[in-house]
Structure 1
Amino acid sequence: MPHTWAVSPPADDPVELAVNRALKPMRDDAVRDVEAILDATLKAAELSAPVAPRVADIVALAGTSNQAFYRYFTGKDDLMQAVMARGLRRVHAYLDHRMSKVDDPAMKIELWVRGILTQATHQTAARQGAAVAEIFAGAGGGVDERTSEATLALKDLLIAPLEALGSNFPELDAAVIREAAMGTMRDHMTAHTSPTPQESDHLVAFCIRGIGVEA
Structure 2
Amino acid sequence: MENEMRAPKAAEADGHDDVAVRIARRTLAARGAGYADEVRRLLDAGLAVMDRCGTESRPRVADIVAEAGLSNDAFYRHFPSKDALVTAILEDGTSRLGRYLERRMARAADPEARVRAWVGGVLAQADPDVAATTRAVLWNGGGTGGLAAGRHPASATLAALLVEPFAALGCPDPAGRATLAAHAALGRLADLLWAGSAPTPADGEALVAFLLASARPG
Calculate the TM-score normalised by the size of structure 1.
0.81
Residue in structure 1 matching 2:192, options 183, 188, 191: 188
1:38 equivalent in structure 2: 43
Deviations 1:161-189, CA, capped at 9 Å, x for gaps: 11111101112210121012111112222
Aligned partners of 1:45 and 1:128 also within 8 Å: yes
Alignment of 1:108-147 (within 5 A): 108-121=114-127, 123=129, 125-137=130-142, 139=143, 141-143=145-147
Separation in 2 of the partners of 1:15 and 1:163? 53
Runs of 4+ in 1 over 6 A off after TM superposition: 14-18
| 1:120, distance to aligned residue in structure 2 (A) | 1.1
| 1:140, distance to aligned residue in structure 2 (A) | 6.8
1:23 lines up with 2:39 in the alignment:
no
Which amino acid in 1 is paired with 2:72?
N
Which one has a larger percent helix, Structure 1 or Structure 2? 2
Aligned partners of 1:126 and 1:189 also within 8 Å: yes
Q: Percent identity?
A: 35
Residue in structure 2 matching 1:171, options 153, 172, 175: 175
Aligned partners of 1:38 and 1:83 also within 8 Å: yes
Query: What runs of 5+ residues in structure 2 fail to find an aligned partner?
Result: 1-18
1:86 equivalent in structure 2: 92
**Pairs aligned (count):** 197
- RMSD of aligned residue pairs (Cα, Å): 2.7
Separation in 2 of the partners of 1:77 and 1:201? 37
Calculate the TM-score normalised by the size of structure 2.
0.80
Deviations 1:81-132, CA, capped at 9 Å, x for gaps: 0000100000001111222233411111111111111111151x32111011
1:101 equivalent in structure 2: 107
Residue in structure 2 matching 1:67, options 73, 85, 88: 73
